[in-house]
A and B are shown apart, each in its own frame.
Chain A
Amino acid sequence: MSKRSGTVAPLFEGAEWNFDTIQRVYGAIEQVALGDLGLDVYTNQIEIISSQQMLDAYSSNGMPLMYRHWSFGKHFMRDEQLYRKGARGLAYEIVINSDPCISYCMEDNTMALQALVIAHAAFGHNHFFKNNHLFQQWTDAPGILDYLDYARGFIARCEERYGEREVEQLLDAAHSLMQSSVFRHRRPPSPSLREERDRERERLLDAERAVHYLWDRFDRSGPASQTDAAAQERKREMDLPEENLLYFLERHSPVLQPWQREILRIVRNIAQYFYPQRQTKVMNEGCACFVHYYIMNQLHATGQLSDGAMLEILHNHSNVLTQPDFDDPRSAGLNPYALGFAMMQDIRRVCEAPTEEDHEWFPDIAGARDWRGVLKDAWANYRDESFVQQFLGPEVMRRFRLFALSDDSVDPFHTVSAIHDERGYHEIRDVFAHSLDVSVSDPDIQVIDVDLLGDRRLRLRHNRRNGVPLDPETRDATLANVRRCWGYDVVLTETG
């Protein structure tokens, strides 16, 4: 460990924490985070909760408020069961991408852990949420809690008016399409909360006199011809093909009531809100781990953390950042915490002490000295896939002894396509970057056509990537849910 300039007394001793101490430690962490690292964060709101409340938070995607649905109850019961049996511990913290940024800390944490968690969540994740371009563009941090509050109220009102059963069935259907209901390529329309409310009111008021797409078309004289031109026109009017299934159903379903459309909208908005998090697992955790590691070391170096506390922190740090080998029974693939952290550390190393190889691989940043600037730029402007493509260097690949495996279902064997050597670096990097791309790992399903004047059959298409099919069982169950929202026949073709 680094030398102690040791004139400062440690901020705390022992495992017990109280609010005074936390406040003091928070101050010290903040000084390093803002002063030294120069992070830019939302105002922090740190809430101390009990393990029971942590379980509650787990079950609703970590959000402090959520509408009611049985599936959250199911998750809650499973988590509770696992926790009670001791099969799984609870997270030390949950942090929410909102402004102010809310982080939950468990009351059972020791003081050292609280310090670690505050540095990790309240500064690491917080900075990432506030600065990463995906979060900036696609999520509305100041509005999310208001929106969830509105959503919960709206759905509760619907349950009162139309019955729990009715709402539950619709939510079941909407949830099963959630993954296939994000705008991946174009910017989602993002009306403000007020606009959302107005829209809801208008919809309810206009329910009767609304001119429906269908009837609108019927008014025109003469039957629509079934020519290609008509089909083209029709597709253009409905913006087909459409990748966001719930968005399409919300706009065009012939059978849904206005309140049902609103519920679909709520579900897809929530899916969209979480989409950036799914795209930045490695970076987000890497950023948070790097930040807590740097801050804790800094505090220890100035004597503000005692050796005991630092050892406890390092112990927890390395627990979280273990990367078991591929044949280890604990292995569940690459650990985003470990990889993210290693890459962040590597960037710092490349900036400060580049080798010959680094100059070749990272000509832009090798020896740049200003590693803070380089890291902050990376955190702001990349997502997992592009970040790996840009910054995964040979040093990290060698350390993790990465290798790429390819599998063709027709072959009786797997092939090792690349290992961590001169010839393999690029391929490993490509394969890994590709595997982190959510738009590749999620099935690509689009609405391609529907003839509202004809049989109203909704046509979906799954574009197979590399011939990977859909799981038939869940596919059929999900299609049944699409049918429920569409009201008429739905067919899915798989191509490629």
Chain B
Amino acid sequence: MGHFIDRRLNPKGKSLGNRRRFIGRVRASVKKSVDESVRRRGIADVDQSEQVSVPAKGISEPSFRHAAQGGKRQAVLSGNRTFRAGDKIQKPPGGAGKGRGREGSADGEGEDEFLFMLSRDEFLDIFFEDLELPDLVKLSLKEIAAARPQRMGYTVAGTPANLSVERTMRNAIGRRIALRRPKTRETQALEQQIRELEARVPADEAEPPELIKLREELDKAQRRQRRIPFVDPLDVRYRYFEMQPEPAANAVMFCLMDVSASMGEREKDLAKRFFVLLHLFLKQRYDKIEVVFIRHTQVASEVDEETFFHSRESGGTVVSSALNEMKAIIDARYPPSEWNIYAAQASDGENYRGDSATCAARLKESLMPLCQYFAYIEILEENEIGLMQSDDNGMELWRAYRGVADDWPNFAMKRIASPAHIYPVFRELFVRKGGLVADV
């Protein structure tokens, strides 16, 4: 008789553990190809699975085996057409051994390289390895919006739904052993003995003393069984839960960008790459994430993604308008008690004269206390990057922001000039700093 079992609903990914071990083993080379591929990729498809190749050297599985050449060998082959015994067949030049090697391998796997696919999650994990969000958990938990029940041991009172059968029975067994409650098996054995004796003793004779003794024993045991219950209310235990505050697991990301005429396609593209990275990174860490796009010229407005990156505006540049807009949106929609607020601002550094001080003040006073992190990216011309080596030089806005950075550890600023800079700069901004915790 055969048994049929439908295993299709069993958990897949039995090999995940082995896969993880394998990737761990080739981590260094995988990391290198991941970093390379990110530089190469377009913005839209950073978030994709990736084929990587690692050198086969570190992952070979050696064993004692025969060399391909040398010695005398014999083999049987099929499909003879014209050969006769004693025929000699010239070996191919170059000593390629007998037979043909497989010309190129069908699986595309070279001798020296091992190719495989990284899934999207694995890719991102490696991509964001060693990176950390500053102040991942909200610093202030004054207003706790959510609480979740969490197991906190056992209690003697509770609802039947929370009854812990295992604990209860464990206590019951312990108590029964301690109080020496006769086992059912024992009383049954006594009964059996009595029945046997009764059968042997004729009805008219007096009962032998051992029968009487057995009866007494049985009676005693049964009374004891009744007195000591199988499960006593004392034994009963319930699982106990306590409500634990849930740290806010939602994040909102503000993307601020200058779209005035001075920001060309190149600058916007660089800014977008940075925003995309930040978004992906936040997505790895938070359950839910919302993105708010604010663009500004001399006035700021909230727009959708398409407009944000692609439509052109003309006008002057007043950076503080964007900061004001951001503050207004936070007040209206994102109470900081419930949301982790991140902001990234991209600009070419131009600002209306005199406005930069306003920006710095606004940041210091109203925005930085609300934000988990604020990153400022200044996009330069390729040829400017050499001139701007030092952080001390720069235009008015840069200098004003320097003041903010000095006061707030969760404010970061960097300059980029080409796509190749973005990833290193991103890493630098978010690199895991040993033990750095913002002073609360």
A76-B80 Cα distance, complex, nearest whole Å: 38
Known: A45-B5, A333-B77, A419-B84. 13 other contacts (CB 8 A): A19-B4, A43-B1, A46-B4, A73-B19, A76-B18, A77-B19, A78-B107, A177-B63, A179-B65, A334-B78, A416-B86, A416-B88, A467-B70
A228 within 8 A of partner (CB): no
How far apart sit A331 and B77, CA to CA, in the bound complex (Å)?
10
In this complex, what residue of B is CB-closest to A177? B63
A474 part of interface (Cβ distance < 8 Å)? yes
Q: Judge if B352 is at the interface, Cβ distance under 8 Å.
A: no
Question: Does B109 have its Cβ within 8 Å of any Cβ on chain A?
Answer: yes
Residue from A59, A74, A326, A469 in contact with B71 in the complex, judged by beta carbons closer than 8 Å:
A469
B107 touches A82 (CB 8 A): yes
- Bound-state CA distance A146–B73 (Å) is 42
25 contacts between A and B (CB under 8 A): A23-B4, A43-B3, A48-B4, A53-B8, A53-B12, A59-B18, A71-B61, A78-B116, A177-B63, A179-B63, A179-B64, A180-B64, A323-B79, A401-B79, A401-B81, A404-B77, A405-B77, A407-B98, A413-B88, A415-B89, A431-B75, A435-B76, A474-B60, A477-B62, A481-B62
Question: A176–B74 contact, CB under 8 A?
Answer: no
Interface centre among A55, A416, A445 (most CB of B within 10 A): A416
Does residue A402 face the partner (Cβ distance < 8 Å to B)?
yes
The answer to whether A477 and B60 have CB atoms under 8 Å apart is: yes
Cα separation A368 to B79 with both chains bound (whole Å): 31
Our pick among B13, B25, B108 for the contact of A70 (Cβ within 8 Å) is: B25
Distance between Cα atoms of A434 and B108 in the complex (Å): 34
* Chain B contact residue count (CB 8 A cutoff): 65
Closest 5 CB pairs of A and B: A325-B79, A73-B22, A73-B18, A468-B71, A477-B62
Closest chain B CB from A23 CB (angstroms) = 7
Q: Which residue of B lies closest to A104 (CB)?
A: B7
**Contact status A72-B73, CB under 8 Å:** no
- Residues 58-98 of chain A: 1 if any B CB is under 8 Å from the residue's CB, otherwise 0? 01100000001111111011101110110110000000000
Minimal Cβ-Cβ distance residue in B for A105: B4
Q: How far is the CA of A44 from the CA of B5 in the complex (A)?
A: 11
Q: Is the CB of A472 within 8 A of B67?
A: yes
Q: Which residues of A contact B159 (CB under 8 A)?
A: none
A419 touches B83 (CB 8 A): yes
From B4, B67, B75, give the contact of A22 (CB < 8 A).
B4
Q: Is the CB of B114 within 8 A of A74?
A: yes
In residues 171-185 of chain A, which contact B (Cβ within 8 Å)?
172, 175-180
Contacts A73-B15, A478-B64; is A404 near B76 (CB within 8 Å)? yes
What is the CB-to-nearest-CB distance from B109 to chain A, in angstroms, rounded to a whole number? 7
Q: Does B161 have its Cβ within 8 Å of any Cβ on chain A? A: no
Size band of the interface chain A makes with B = 35 or more
Partner of B14, one of A56, A325, A412, A462: A56
Kindly specify which of A200-208, A248-256, A420-428 makes contact with the partner chain. A420-428
CB of A381 within 8 Å of the partner chain: no
Does the CB pair A70–B75 fall under 8 Å? Answer: no
Closest-by-CB residue of A relative to B51 is A81
CB pair A68 B73 closer than 8 Å = no
Report Cα–Cα, A76/B24, bound state, in Å: 15
Whether A417 sits at the interface, judged by CB under 8 Å, is yes
List residues 40-92 of chain B with CB under 8 A from any CB of chain A: 59-81, 83-91
Given contacts A175-B61, A418-B85, A467-B72, A48 and B77 within 8 Å (CB-CB): no
Q: Does A409 contact B (CB under 8 A)?
A: yes
Give A residues with C-beta under 8 Å from B: 19, 22-23, 26, 30, 43-50, 52-53, 55-56, 59-60, 68-74, 76-78, 80-82, 84-85, 87-88, 100, 104, 107, 118, 122, 164, 168, 172, 175-180, 323-329, 331, 333-334, 400-409, 411-421, 423-424, 428, 431-432, 434-435, 441, 443, 445, 462, 464-475, 477-478, 481
Q: Which residues of A contact B108 (CB under 8 A)?
A: 85, 87
- B63, A176: Cβ atoms closer than 8 Å: yes
Q: Please, what's the 1-or-0 string for B2-35, where 1 marks a CB less than 8 Å from any CB in chain A?
A: 1111111010111101111111110000000000
- With both chains docked as a complex, state the minimum distance between the C-beta of A142 and any C-beta of chain B, in angstroms: 16
- Rounded to whole angstroms, the CA-CA distance of A80 and B71 in the bound complex is 38
Interface of B is mostly: loop
Which residue from chain A places its CB closest to the CB of B99 in the assembled complex? A326
- Would A164 and B78 count as touching, CB distance under 8 A? no
A405 to B376, CA, bound (A): 74
Measured CA separation A415–B76 after assembly (Å): 12
A406 smallest CB distance to B (angstroms): 5
* A77 and B22 within 8 A (CB): yes
B117 within 8 A of A: yes
Task: Indicate whether B370 reaches chain A with its CB closer than 8 angstroms.
Answer: no
Q: Do B70 and A70 touch (CB < 8 A)?
A: no
What distance in Å separates the Cβ of B89 from its nearest Cβ neighbour in chain A?
A: 5
Contact of B18 (CB < 8 Å), options: A72, A81, A323:
A72
Cβ of B115 within 8 Å of any chain A Cβ, yes or no, is yes
In the complex with contacts A418-B85, A431-B75, A81-B70 CB distance below 8 A: no
User: What distance in Å separates the Cβ of B40 from its nearest Cβ neighbour in chain A?
Assistant: 21
Contact of A428 among B20, B76, B115 (CB under 8 A): B76
Tell whether A70 pairs with B90 under 8 Å between CB atoms, given A87-B106, A478-B62. no
A65: nearest chain-B partner, CB-CB: B14
Known A19-B4, A413-B91: A324·B79 in contact at CB below 8 Å: yes
CB distance from B7 to the nearest CB of A (A): 5
Residues A409 and B71 in contact, CB atoms below 8 Å apart: yes
